[in-house]
Amino acid sequence: MGMAVILTAAVLLSGCGRREPTLLRKTDTAMGTIVSQSIYVTRSGSHPESPTEAVMDAIRSLEEETLSWRLETSEIYRLNSHEETELSPELSEILQTCLKVSEKSGGAFDVTIGALARLWNMDTWAADSENVQLPGEEQVLRALPLCGYGKLLEENPSWQDAASAKLSLPAGMQLDLGAVGKGAALDEIAGLLAEREEVTGAVISVGGSILTYGEKPDRSSFKVAIVNPADTSGNIGYLELQGQWCISTSGDYERFVEVDGKRYHHILDPHTGFPSESGVSSVTILSEDGLLSDALSTACFVLGAEEGMALAQNFGAEALFVDNGGNISMTEGMEQYFHLY
């Protein structure tokens, strides 16, 4: 009891007297992945809800109301049910950005691959890897014509330019925003933190996507580790960053299954309908924008290092690739941030 009182007094003194920020930590799950938060706060906050709770709420509502293909409550679910859907400005903006990345990547990135994604069923691989049934070539070839962002644009000719929020999917098409949900969440979280004057810095990861925000109390850099795809218990190096950034990694180690001695990962080449074989094991994108970082990481994984780097730079982002042989390559702009172990 006496000890607790002393500790509380010490925290209060450091909080109020010198305004030294305190660290809030929280690990939880949302969007089918782990969310881990470190948020530095001073004690001047006026919100009744803690920032870590607010972050979880924001991720969950983005999933439930907007992005999930599973939950009947979401806009994507309604679109996929082929009801003509009045899009929220938020989803409109997300889809517009996705289509831009599709166009500039020559279709390597494509959120209209839902029919293929359901066929491969990668979301269930982790839970039941013993009994995975992979699709045959014929099934894949039948699903391919149901996919393609070009077909979505043909069905909605004026959607891209007009302010119209109405969108309808061609017959059989399904949207899958699995490649961008975590990055989109980071943008929302960054906005939320900016509205909270008590937050002085934060590092928040939603699966393979990470937001750095503000600064640490001692002003030292944020260090974001890059996993070794060949041995995920270790890292190949880290990015050293100051201020606000989004970092997204797509890797063949994140979700995969082995069937008859062959390894299949979760990122599809929309042109073949099969897991991409570009020689990439992982790609990390650094961008000021969360949605872009996540879309580009998936796009670059499919494109491979050479074309991927050009694509990233086209969007003002930096990229770092690890190939199947463990070789690292990166855009010139990435070199100032990356440190090899």
Residue ranges that bind Mg ion, judged by CB under 5 A: 179, 250, 294, 297-298
Least distance between ligand AMP and beta carbon 294 (Å): 5
Least distance between ligand AMP and beta carbon 178 (Å): 3
Residues in contact with ligand AMP, shown as a per-residue x/- string from 68 to 107 under the rule CB under 6 A: ----------------------------------------
Please check whether residue 204 is in contact with residue 188, taking contact to mean a CB–CB distance below 8 angstroms.
Answer: no
Q: For helices 290-303 and 181-194, what crossing angle results, to 10°? A: 160
Does 109 sit near ligand AMP (CB under 6 A)?
yes
Partner whose binding site includes residue 176, from ligand AMP, Mg ion, none (CB under 5 to 8 Å by kind)? ligand AMP
Using the rule CB under 6 A, give the single segment among 43-51, 128-136, 265-273, 285-293 that binds ligand AMP. 265-273
Buried-exposed string 211-221: b where 16+ CB fall within 10 A, e elsewhere: bbbbbbeeeee
Nearer to ligand AMP, 39 or 122 (CB): 122
Positive or negative, the CA dihedral 240, 244, 245, 246 is positive
The H or E element containing residue 51 is helix 51-61
Footprint of ligand AMP on residues 268-287 (CB under 6 A)? 268, 270
Nearer to Mg ion, 199 or 206 (CB): 206
Using the rule CB under 6 A, give the single segment among 27-35, 52-60, 84-92, 262-270 that binds ligand AMP. 262-270
For tokens 């309604």, the residue is 78
Q: What is the DSSP letter of 31?
A: T
Radius of gyration of the chain, Cα coordinates, nearest whole angstrom: 21
Cα angle for residues 235, 256, 173 (degrees, 5° grid): 125
Rounded CA-CA distance 200/306 in Å is 38
Rounded CA-CA distance 313/135 in Å is 35
Q: Give the count of beta carbons closer than 10 Å to the beta carbon of residue 233.
A: 6
Q: Which residues contact 137 (CB under 8 A, 6 or more apart)?
A: none
Q: Which of 54, 56, 67, 111 binds ligand AMP (CB under 6 A)?
A: 111
Nearer to ligand AMP, 21 or 181 (CB): 181
How far is C-alpha 278 from the chain's CA centre? 20
Using the rule CB under 6 A, give the single segment among 73-81, 109-117, 153-161, 309-317 that binds ligand AMP. 109-117
Footprint of ligand AMP on residues 195-254 (CB under 6 A)? 208, 250, 254
Partner whose binding site includes residue 252, from Mg ion, ligand AMP, none (CB under 5 to 8 Å by kind)? none
Give contact residues for ligand AMP (rule: CB under 6 A). Answer: 109-111, 113, 117, 122, 176, 178-179, 208, 250, 254, 266-268, 270, 294, 297-298, 301-302
